[in-house]
Amino acid sequence: MIPYRDENPTRTTPVLIYVFIALNVAAFLYSIFTPEGFEHWIMRWGLIPAALWKNPGGGMPPHYVGLFSSMWLHGGFLHILGNMWFLWIFGDNVEDHLGHGRFITFYLVCGVIATLTHALIAHEATVPLVGASGAIAGVLAAYLRFYPRHRVRAVIPLFITAFFVRLPAAVFIFFWLAMQLLGQLQWQAMVAAGQQGGGVAYGAHLGGFAAGFILAGPFAHGRGEPRRPPPDRGW
């Protein structure tokens, strides 16, 4: 199920969403064209859990820097496209409600907690973690808390056709969350069987979502009640 828009107009310009998307795109393009080479750049600035726990301050830059820098890197075009699409659809309303200053802190904190969660779960991994999805998972959680009844329009591809649906944000986000939980269970089963856990850091998604859900309330303190959907669009 792929969202393509929400029915939730903002009152302010989502300046930080524009900035974050621009920074992610710029970092991705640089990683492709850097003289160092894409793989070397990802190994250098991504988060490598095993290296982080073995020697946090080692390396250049120090391995702990990856807790922050990894959230600005992506492993491919579809990776960054999917992440920026979700950030575009759901991030503007969260920024609108929290305000610009609080939103940037909220986003970064969720991102760091997400990468740290992955590092704790996959503590022996030597494959670098990259991607903004952990921070964006926190944004999804905040959207769930602020706007659960606002409608999201999505498409469900099915073989050679597709279905278009309009459903409450809570339903869409809980579906997304269920997919992450199932993915994490599969990842753990693969690791327990001595196999590679796969290329998706579900643990980071779950960690970022949990952080966002817990922190959304405190960050929104004093900002008033989120806008309710119009009566004909309520749940």
pLDDT tens for 146-168 read: 999 999 999 999 888 899 999 99
Q: Does residue 24 surpass a pLDDT of 60?
A: yes
This prediction's pTM: 0.92
Percent with pLDDT over 90 in the chain = 77
Q: What is the DSSP letter of 129?
A: B
Least confident segment among 40-49, 147-156, 194-203: 194-203
Determine the Cα–Cα distance for residues 55 and 8; give it in Å rounded to an integer.
Answer: 46
Question: Can you give the pLDDT at residue 149?
Answer: 94
- Mean of the pLDDT values across residues 46-71? 91
Instruction: Read off the tokens for 108.
Output: 């970064």
Q: Does residue 213 surpass a pLDDT of 90?
A: yes
Which residue reads 């753990």 in tokens? 188
Question: Can you give the pLDDT at residue 231?
Answer: 63
Q: Does residue 36 surpass a pLDDT of 90?
A: no
Determine the Cα–Cα distance for residues 235 and 232; give it in Å rounded to an integer.
Answer: 9
Beta bridge partners of 5: 153
Q: CA distances (Å), 40 to each of 53, 79, 94, in order?
A: 20, 18, 35
> Is the CB of residue 106 less than 8 Å from the CB of residue 221?
no
Determine the Cα–Cα distance for residues 96 and 94; give it in Å rounded to an integer.
Answer: 5
Q: Taking the alpha carbons of 165, 166, 170, 171 in that order, is the dihedral positive or negative?
A: negative
Question: Can you give the pLDDT at residue 160?
Answer: 85
Q: Does residue 234 surpass a pLDDT of 60?
A: no
Angle between helices 133-146 and 202-219 (to 10 degrees): 40
Least confident segment among 67-76, 87-96, 168-177, 183-192: 183-192
Q: What is the mean pLDDT of the chain?
A: 92
Q: Could you tell me which of 152, 141, 131 has the C-alpha nearest to residue 98?
A: 141
- Using pLDDT thresholds of 50, 70 and 90, give the confidence band for residue 232: low
Question: Can you give the pLDDT at residue 113?
Answer: 98
Q: Could you tell me which of 184, 216, 222 has the C-alpha nearest to residue 200?
A: 184
Element holding 5 (H helix, E strand): strand 2-6
Question: Can you give the pLDDT at residue 227?
Answer: 75
Determine the Cα–Cα distance for residues 134 and 88; give it in Å rounded to an integer.
Answer: 15
Determine the Cα–Cα distance for residues 171 and 176; give it in Å rounded to an integer.
Answer: 9
- Mean of the pLDDT values across residues 63-81? 95
Could you tell me the fold of the domain covering 2-219? Rhomboid-like fold (1.20.1540)
